[in-house]
């Protein structure tokens, strides 16, 4: 059952949340140094928690309801992370601490889109199983 389409989406969400944080910077400070997610402990832990939730949801394929709930929790975590980034970018705009925003701030958006697609596929599977159960 690991060959389902939601597994691909969840794997890509885990890859985005756990892997791309080391590649793309969140912003550059005044001195031109790139600030990555691992430089800020809370952000780093939130990204790792998001990747871990996606991996755990992959292996919950026998219980689609728990898989769906884990996807929702992961989306909530990414929305909180995105809200923190928006707050920082609006509150610290100009040349106070953030000089240039990086593409790493958009990582939670990509992760949310992949998680929504995974949850749609999980819901489709659940509806299919329920319709087959009705026929028996």
pTM over 0.95: no
Residuewise pLDDT in 10s, the chain (136 residues): 567 899 999 999 999 999 988 888 887 777 778 888 888 899 999 999 999 999 999 998 888 899 999 999 999 999 999 999 888 877 765 555 546 777 888 999 999 999 999 999 999 988 888 888 776 6
Domain positions in the chain are 5-130
Instruction: Look up residue 37 and give its DSSP letter.
Output: G
**Chain centroid to CA 80:** 11
Q: What ranges in the chain are assigned the alpha helix state H?
A: 5-19, 41-58, 64-91, 107-135
Q: Which residues pair with 34 in a beta bridge?
A: 28
End-to-end CA distance of the chain: 22
């Amino acid at each position: 059952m690991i060959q389902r389409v939601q597994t691909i989406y969840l794997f890509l969400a885990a890859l985005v949340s756990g892997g791309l944080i080391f590649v793309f910077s969140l912003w550059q400070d005044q001195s031109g140094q790139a600030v990555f997610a691992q430089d800020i402990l809370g952000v780093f832990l939130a990204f790792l928690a998001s990747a871990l939730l996606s991996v755990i949801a992959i292996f919950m394929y026998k219980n689609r309801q728990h898989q769906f709930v884990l996807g929702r929790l992961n989306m909530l975590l990414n929305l909180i992370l995105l809200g923190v980034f928006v707050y920082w970018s609006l509150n610290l705009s100009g040349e106070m601490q953030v000089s240039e925003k990086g593409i790493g701030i958009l990582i939670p958006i990509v992760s949310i889109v992949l998680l929504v697609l995974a949850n749609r596929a999980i819901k489709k599977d659940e509806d299919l199983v329920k319709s087959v159960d009705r026929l028996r």
